[in-house]
A and B are shown apart, each in its own frame.
Chain A
Amino acid sequence: MKLTQEQTQYIFDYVSSRDIKWYELQVELTDHMVSSMEEIWEKDPELTFHQVKQYAENNFTGDSSFKSIEKERTEILGKEFRKEQWKMIGEYLKFPKIFASIIVVFLTFKISLYFEEPRKFVAGLFLFLIFVAIPMVYSYYKNRKIDGNRFIEIEKSNPLTLLFGGFINFGLSLGNVFKEEINEYALVLFLFCCLWALTVLCLITGILLQNKTIKRVKEQYQLN
């Protein structure tokens, strides 16, 4: 026995009301519940809608609860995106893209030598990235909802939650610890230039990954 439009909507709202705010999960769990309910109802038409719902819901308890499934998906996507981003960064350390990376490090290092206190230049480089992050934050807020729906995939592919944010923090903190060494030793200065270039790579790959994810989600769910 098929569920009506209103009954299906009721199940969708019910799933959402269980603190499942992500559209991809709302869609999948609603379909699972409704398919299960339709089958139970087919076997026993005497049951009421709420009885059938209760039977279907019994499969989503304990480790199979909606929240457990959501938690697992969030962890899986976070891990996979980080893996994917490292893979993309790795591409910039291979031929031919490695030449672009070498040029960025070399130019940064060369320019820093013109400064009396290279430490300030290095700190400026990392602070510059914070300003670069402002349009990124705007872009994230603009794209975090598609047609009013939120997706874990998009949330997890946000460059700020990926490696980029962490590297800015790391660079600034480390720069503070080694402020004397940066001014005195060219090698330390060079290493900081490498770290900055790596942060830039995190930014570029993070943006590419997010754009790719948004495009894919829009295509899959036929959203604009």
Chain B
Amino acid sequence: MIMYRNLMYICFRKEIALHLLMIKNMKNSQLYKGSLNTIIMKLLEENGKMYGYEITQKVKAITSGELNITEGALYPALHKLEAEGILDVEIEKVDNRMRKYYKLTEKGTTETVNRLSELEDFIRNMQSLVNPSPKLEF
């Protein structure tokens, strides 16, 4: 619980902190994969457009290096969201190379709100199940 609170303060972003904490503690890869898309969408909602490497670094920074999104998980997630029309792609020339930026589409923005709400419900329910609040009976 203390760690949970610390992470909340570090992130300054209540929702991202919650999601990342859940992912960090998840040993089940299915749950991890399910939440990764929402995390990406949330980050893009806050930052406008981002590129792959930037996303991995942002997550690392938010969690103080405790969570690493592997390239093998990140790119398939980005490509799937792109194919589903949730993300749009913009190619820009940066320094001496091309860079592929991802940003939310209109559909993606709406979907982000829905998925965040679903994830919050999930976290709340899990919290209630794992750590039920004591009954105040005298």
A interface residue numbers (CB < 8 A to B): 2-5, 8, 12, 24, 27-28, 30-32, 34-36, 39, 59-60, 62-65, 68-69, 72-73, 76-77, 79-80, 220-222
Query: Given A12-B97, A27-B98, A30-B97, are A72 and B84 neighbors across the interface (CB < 8 Å)?
Result: no
Are B53 and A5 in touch, CB under 8 angstroms?
A: no
CB neighbours (8 Å) of A39 from chain B are 57
CB neighbours (8 Å) of A60 from chain B are 71
Are A32 and B53 in touch, CB under 8 angstroms?
A: yes
For B94, the closest partner residue in chain A by CB is: A31
Of B79, B89, B98, the residue contacting A31 (CB under 8 A) is: B98
Interface size class of B (residues with CB under 8 A): 20 to 34
B interface residue numbers (CB < 8 A to A): 51-54, 57, 70-73, 75-76, 79-80, 83-84, 89-91, 94-100
Task: Tell me, rounded to whole Å, the shortest Cβ–Cβ distance linking A42 to chain B.
Answer: 12
CB neighbours (8 Å) of B98 from chain A are 27, 30-31, 221
CB neighbours (8 Å) of B94 from chain A are 31
Report 12 cross-chain contacts, Cβ distance below 8 Å, ordered by A residue: A8-B96, A27-B91, A27-B98, A27-B99, A31-B53, A31-B100, A32-B51, A63-B73, A69-B75, A72-B75, A80-B83, A80-B84
Are B72 and A64 in touch, CB under 8 angstroms?
A: yes
Q: Give bound CA distance, A98 to B104, whole Å.
A: 34
